[in-house]
Amino acid sequence: MMQTDSYVIPAGGKWSVMIQRGKQITFTALGDGANVSLLLYNASNTAERYNMPDTLKAQHTSHLTAGHVLMSDNGRVMASITEDSLGWHDPLSGYVTRKTVDERFGKTSYQKKRNDWYRSGDENFKVELFRQGMTVRDLVPVVNLFSKVFCNEDGELHFVPGHSKKGDVITLRTEMDVILMVSNTPNPLDSSSSYPSVPIELLVTDAAPVAEDDPCVNHCPENRRAFENTWNDEKLTKGGIV
């Protein structure tokens, strides 16, 4: 990729791209009430992808913020969260389906609304998976950036309205070559009766090298082990062993 790339994902929009290791991806909300669903796959082996249960279990958390990492199902770090103005992002709710969109916001179609029809995360991700040589079987739980969802003592999930404001940012640093997929569609627990229309800006730049005192590496022992798994695999690959 170029040293600096900027993209705007409109409401309902989708995007996927390969991003090299050592980049930082800054997501900026261009309005209040943003939500963007995100997936990561290993660019050289898409069978390795973001794993929600391992990410949360290893870091002893039910939400994501700066200092946390997104782990793969191979126990490696795919990306680190290096900057966050919100302090809480939702890894629990999943992506919104066509049925939920129709029930909550009303049925629309491309034939009648053209590009203003209401998309779902389910459909957006399926399209991008096929573009990247995968199938619907590769669709896994997502991270919902800019949304806050918490679980009460009865095990019920609750969406917090108004959590994200215009100008809020979160930055990911890629720790391996990844395929990034995003869907700018509503959080499935958002009770709003109006389809959200908040564009998201993505800025991809070079990241500084990971230092020994890096907050993401040192967040917990499990993080360091996941980084070591990532670094060791990279050494083996460069050395020609695999």
The secondary structure of the chain, three-state, reads CCCCEEEEECCCCEEEEEECCCEEEEEEECCCCCCEEEEEEECCCCCCEECHHHHHHHHCCCCECCCCEEEECCCCEEEEEEEECCCCEECCCCCCCHHHHHHHHCCCCHHHHHHHCCCCHHHHHHHHHHHCCCCHHHCCCCEEECCCEEECCCCCEEECCCCCCCCCEEEEEECCCEEEEEECCCCCCCCCCCCCCCCEEEEEEECCCCCCCCCCCCCCHHHHHHHHHHHHHHHHHHCCCC
Across 86-109, average pLDDT: 96
- The mean per-residue pLDDT over the stretch 147-157 comes to 93
Q: Kindly tell me the burial class for residue 4, based on how many C-beta atoms sit within 10 Å of its own C-beta (0-12, 13-18, 19 or more).
A: exposed
pLDDT band at 236 (very low <50, low <70, confident <90, very high): low
* Tokens 């066509």 belong to residue: 98
- In angstroms, how far is CA 226 from the centroid of its own chain? 19
Q: How crowded is residue 133: how many other Cβ atoms within 10 Å of its Cβ? A: 9
C-beta neighbour count of 136 within 10 angstroms: 10
> What pLDDT is stored for residue 116 in this prediction?
86
pLDDT at position 180 over 80: yes
Q: What is the pTM of this model?
A: 0.94
pLDDT of 233:
80
pLDDT at residue 239 in the model: 53
